[in-house]
Chains A and B, each alone.
With several copies, the nearest count.
Chain A
């Protein structure tokens, strides 16, 4: 495919050297079947990891490994300090006022379940009970739907949600009748992993706090791509996940205002989260230990700290600019393709980099299969967002998503691949 003049050109971010970044990611130089280079366009699913992150974990296992918070010996000390330093780094990365407000979980899903469960067990102000309402949106990831379904069902509360406009934006036209005095919790995604839509959080937080509701933000797709300042944001709780931000698997984060976290009952019970244990009853440790039962994902936290260091060295503002540039370029090129429909905003305005689309007459599984044969990795399916798919009358879609290592050449390869897909299935 040749680039014609009508095609929008890619506008690279000054000083952002994608090739140099790519050199840090060992997997990006691997070859796939048929000796094809890997074109990895599935970063919203999970990101790749730079050598710096992998090495930090290896070094810890080889030189420091030991349990944390329990041992007085040199390794135990060093391990505890590395683990707590990771917390401090992550707090700084999201501008949390206090590192003890950063709770390590195993992923974003656990972080969201932590909130939903402790709200169900809370007594007093924060308890969600019969007659109370929880508000989510139709574009949530299943991990921000199911915990609230379980909570509201168990407690006899009601789950409500914001619908979507045809363009894939939140329909906030009825906000005052959706978020009301009955609303106890509003839990919304910051950047949709399917539609790419960015939520107007300010409006939602303002209205929620007006009625005294807690605001939970699923920032799983935001923290990897945007400079995030939880203090400025004003939400009460924010969840995200390590593996999508060049960090390892097995680690997620819940940040919460200490006032809220202090008032909530514990989540899981066990070692480390206690102050004292008697057979008859126990008392709880202060934050953050209270929410970290058992041996935590120690090396994973250290890996996540290395990820945060890596991203910070590049600068999150630049990561965001690159994401925007790549997304704008991809959208403009995809908009050219006949028979291709984008689900979600078709322009790179208030929009993250996940682009889900339909190719008329070819099922997403088949699209991604053909692309895969060309070395292009995209995702096909419901992307854990079945309700949002249903809203647009489809079962599933194909999704391309980008990150700091994505090049415009990879977008070109995708466009090319889609062309071949159409030919293979004799579409148009």
Chain B
């Protein structure tokens, strides 16, 4: 039971002071995701501008892992072109579902590599992915809506 691997200092830091927290305007899509197992929730907004993730704002209630991973998500994806953001999302999901066998790429995931240890705790993977799944859902909706308007 490698608690240190799970609760990296970086994770605890993000948990104590989450980045980009709070709900902000403008946004094109807002979603509400729930982890049915434990009831953790996140409301997350995405603002898309010129093919770039202009903002990610959120109101989250949850454990250290889910809070920190949403904070890292916002750090990583704000200001990034949508395609590239999906690529980063993909890498993070792969890391989480890799049963601890996937070597994370710090170039791409930055603070996100701190979650490598979470992959060894199957019950916590859903926590780490809560914000990321919400982001993907919101971004797809935002883009679809924008396209519909064109």
Contacts and interface: CB of A to CB of B under 8 A. Distances in A.
A395 B39 contact: yes
Contact of A365 (B36, B41, B65): B65
Nearest to B122: A77
A146 to B, nearest CB: 13
B81 interface: no
Interface stretch (A47-55, A130-138, A296-304, A378-386): A378-386
Given A34-B1, A76-B123, A396-B40, A365 B34 contact: no
B7 A382 contact: no
A74 B36 CA distance: 19
A369 B38 contact: no
**Binding site secondary structure of chain B:** mixed
A363 B1 contact: no
A389 B34 CA distance: 15
A373 interface: yes
Interface in B80-111: none
B38 A365 contact: yes
A274 B38 contact: no
Chain B: number of interface residues, binned into ranges: 20 to 34
A364 B34 contact: no
Chain A: number of interface residues, binned into ranges: 20 to 34
Interface string B21-61: 00000000000001011111100000000000000000001
A165 interface: no
B36 to A, nearest CB: 5
A213 B36 CA distance: 34
A398 B36 CA distance: 16
B65 to A, nearest CB: 7
A363 B61 CA distance: 9
B6 A369 contact: yes
Contacts of A71: 123
Given A77-B122, A369-B124, A381 B63 contact: no
Contacts of A366: 7, 63-65
Contacts of B65: 365-366
Contacts of B7: 366, 424
Given A364-B63, A424-B7, A80 B123 contact: yes
B34 A276 contact: yes
A365 B39 contact: no
A235 to B, nearest CB: 30
Contacts of B40: 365, 395-396
A76 B123 CA distance: 9
B122 A389 contact: no
Contact of A363 (B34, B37, B41, B64): B64
A366 B12 CA distance: 11
A276 B33 CA distance: 10
A295 interface: no
Contacts of A382: 38-39
Contacts of A372: 1
Contact of A69 (B37, B64, B124): B37
A70 interface: yes
Interface string A355-389: 00000000111100110110000001110001001
B38 to A, nearest CB: 4
A275 B3 contact: no
A289 B126 CA distance: 15
27 contacts: A33-B1, A34-B1, A77-B122, A77-B123, A80-B122, A80-B123, A275-B34, A363-B62, A363-B63, A363-B64, A364-B38, A365-B62, A365-B64, A365-B124, A366-B7, A369-B3, A369-B6, A370-B3, A372-B1, A373-B1, A380-B38, A381-B39, A382-B38, A395-B61, A396-B38, A396-B39, A425-B12
Given A71-B123, A366-B65, A369-B124, 5 more contacts: A365-B40, A365-B62, A366-B63, A381-B38, A395-B61
